[in-house]
Structure 1
Amino acid sequence: MSSMDVWLHGFPLPGTTEQAARSAERQGYAGLLLADSQNLVGDPYVELALAARATGRLGLGVAVTNPVTRDPSVTAAAIATVHAESGGRAVLGFARGDSALRQIGLEPAPLNVFTQALETLQGYLRGGTVEVRGTGARLAWLPAGLTKVPLDVAASGPKVIAAGALRAERLTFNLGAEPGLLSWALGTARRARERAGLDPDDVSYGAYVNVACADDVDGATEMVRGSASIFAHFAAEAARHGVPLTEADRSTAEALRDGYRESAHGLTRSAQASALPDAFLRRFALAGPPEELTERIAELRGLGLGRLVAVPASRDADPSFVTESNERFAAEVLPAVGRSELRAC
């Protein structure tokens, strides 16, 4: 069976990123992705530049930015700068927006705004001229010979999945570790490309998955509770648009959606996180001993996923637990999954 790239998700907190990047590279992760949420964490592009200088192989990206808090021209210039400084190791994660917008009272970008932003970004990143408000614009400073930054769309619902499948090199699903949901998402993406006359295999597919690697299953489950509530919220909102949840999970999703409080985003000690049943979390996240995680990841790989983004414990989790979990996952799960370096799209 083919290998799977495993990336690590993290927060761009000043003073921590360089060491986190060195550790991720040493441990064999394919890349490091940093959140873009200006009210909760530092600037990801500043921290990615520091990570670029601290590493030599590690893929580097933002996961994820949006078309509202940053104009597409600003986003394209920022990630292309990281790409140039890192020797072509950058990836741009892009979505409609979540905490970066909700923390300042805004809603995710409408689908048409999001779709137009994808096309504009691709024009900039290819070095072309794009029409913006009646003006032809381009990144005139791009170095000659610089490879294109891959665009990676984070998606949950069918319309965003289809938009990303048609316009990006990568598509990463926000639906947890549920094989049934991920199989549905893959089918949705592949059908969208087939209907457009495009090869469905020309896109790299992946999934964001909450991960806590520890023998104590109950303890591991608690450590991902807050983080998993974020991704469960994505699935809950997408369920309104056709994501096929079971009746039991639909009830859980509705309760989560109705009671979600942005002020407690990603925290274990929050009402939305506490409301998630343990049984749901153990299916939705990868929380447990290495042998169990290895088996479950093999199942996800068998669906046709080529990439996994491991999202560690919640924002308020014990940092020592997060470090231990990441190290153990790297030492005991990555070798079985298959390590690989960042590949050009």
Structure 2
Amino acid sequence: MTVEFWTSGRAPDPAEVALRAEDAGFDGIIYVDSQNLAGDCYIALARAAMATSHIKLGTGVTNPVTRHPATTASAIATVQSLSKGRANLGIGRGDSSLAYIGYAPAPLKTLKDYVIKLQAYLSGEEVPFDADSNIDSLGLADKPKTSRLTWLPADQAKVPVDVAATGPRAIAMAAQYADRVSLMVGADPERIAWGIEVARTARRQAGLDGDIPFAAYLPLIVHDDPERAMQMGEGSLASQARFSVMHGKVVGPVSDKQQSTLGRIHNAYDMTRHTEGSSSQAATLNMEFAQEFGIFGPPSYCVERLQALIELGVDRFFLPGGSLLISNDEDQVQAVTRLTEEVIPRLLRDS
């Protein structure tokens, strides 16, 4: 099994971050689609595509609300063309992108319908108009009967679609309609195994042949001092853990202590400090929870934890790091350097 390690890019110059991530040895880089908190992800991906030669490029993640599926498909297909086949479309229900325009995450049915349309657009297929379409009111001599990306090159490889999912219904939907299931359930092996089994069961019940590849979003920081590592990664840990208690009810297997901590994260979450350390949500964390939901510690510990997840069937990891490559904090730069030099090579050698 080939294992990939992806990172995230979120900086003033997306091309520079992508190039540094490529040079550091990451297999892919993702840019968030959260219009109020970050620049446009597709412009970032286009710049990254033109600055790099082999690193894969994706959204991490987009949502089914702020863009029409034809718009999303066209944008990522353009990145596919510019990058000569390196694009990946990551999508979820939406979080900060919707919160900052006044909305909660999209209902699962909305995401499902959107993913189905995305897959059709990216395959060059025709997509029926929505029920509320009103093109007939124009009195045109002729008009399109359906929607399709007419410009899509026939020889261009289809962009794979992966769905970031936490709850059992979202995981099951992703297993049936996406090309990959990206689990946002933390780094606890029991929770990862649970998510994988939910997906595989859904495929069996739907009569789908074969398995589906799995990825995992993980908060991970390499540092000899686990406490310092957690301090550096507490913002991403709190934001990722919140997905397991988004609406106040914990999803997936958890211990009593984990449930208590997740409840505190939910009640304390300040969206105006989303992903930030030293926030009210970060203040609810403790080391025991951090070492279960995240991976914080020296290289040998990180290798052991990641290897356990690889053995469960995860073949792609989305990890923090890309933007840290241009940080002014030497600890942050060293954390990424040690990840790419002391952790990833050992896992690739052993996988």
Return the TM-score normalized by structure 1.
Answer: 0.93
Distance 1:313 1:76, change over 3 A: closer
| Alpha-carbon distance in 1 for matches of 2:273, 2:322 | 15
Deviation at 1:3, TM superposition (A): 3.7
Q: Is contact 2:17-2:322 (8 Å) kept?
A: no
Distance 1:169 1:128, change over 3 A: same
Distance 1:303 1:239, change over 3 A: farther
1:66 aligns with 2:63: yes
Distance 1:321 1:330, change over 3 A: same
Counterpart secondary structure, 2:19: helix
Aligned residue for 1:207?
216
Distance 1:181 1:238, change over 3 A: farther
Aligned residue for 1:170?
180
- Give aligned-pair identity as a percent: 39
Deviation at 1:320, TM superposition (A): 3.9
Aligned residue for 1:343?
none
Aligned residue for 2:73?
76
Q: Is contact 2:57-2:87 (8 Å) kept?
A: yes
The amino acid across from 1:293 in the alignment is: C
Aligned residue for 1:101?
98
The CA deviation string for residues 13-35 of structure 1, in whole angstroms up to 9 with x for no partner, is: 332x2121112112221100111
| Alpha-carbon distance in 1 for matches of 2:209, 2:52 | 34
Aligned residue for 1:129?
126
Distance 1:322 1:127, change over 3 A: farther
Counterpart secondary structure, 2:246: helix
| Alpha-carbon distance in 2 for matches of 1:196, 1:318 | 50
1:276 aligns with 2:285: yes
Deviation at 1:211, TM superposition (A): 1.5
Q: Is contact 1:93-1:151 (8 Å) kept?
A: yes
Q: Is contact 2:21-2:322 (8 Å) kept?
A: no
Aligned partner (choices 167, 170, 176) of residue 157 of structure 1: 167
Counterpart secondary structure, 1:88: coil
Q: More relative contact order in 1 or in 2 (CA 8 Å, sep 6+)? A: 1
Distance 1:286 1:314, change over 3 A: farther
Structure 2 unaligned residues grouped into runs of 5+ = 132-144
Larger Rg: 2
Q: How is 1:176-191 mapped onto 2 (pairs within 5 angstroms)?
A: 176-191=186-201
Q: Is contact 2:91-2:161 (8 Å) kept?
A: yes
Distance 1:108 1:318, change over 3 A: farther
Aligned residue for 2:116?
119
Q: Is contact 2:245-2:251 (8 Å) kept?
A: no
Distance 1:320 1:83, change over 3 A: farther
Aligned residue for 1:326?
336
Counterpart secondary structure, 1:132: coil
Counterpart secondary structure, 2:151: coil
| Alpha-carbon distance in 2 for matches of 1:199, 1:322 | 43
- Aligned positions, number: 334
The amino acid across from 2:16 in the alignment is: Q
1:43 aligns with 2:40: yes
Aligned residue for 1:220?
229
Q: Is contact 2:221-2:232 (8 Å) kept?
A: yes
| Alpha-carbon distance in 1 for matches of 2:245, 2:328 | 27
1:92 aligns with 2:89: yes
| Alpha-carbon distance in 1 for matches of 2:328, 2:187 | 23
Deviation at 1:213, TM superposition (A): 1.1
Distance 1:72 1:319, change over 3 A: farther
| Alpha-carbon distance in 1 for matches of 2:224, 2:127 | 52
Q: Is contact 2:74-2:149 (8 Å) kept?
A: yes
| Alpha-carbon distance in 2 for matches of 1:90, 1:261 | 33
Aligned partner (choices 296, 306, 309) of residue 305 of structure 2: 296
Distance 1:336 1:45, change over 3 A: same
Q: Is contact 1:161-1:185 (8 Å) kept?
A: yes
Return the TM-score normalized by structure 2.
Answer: 0.91
Distance 1:248 1:28, change over 3 A: same
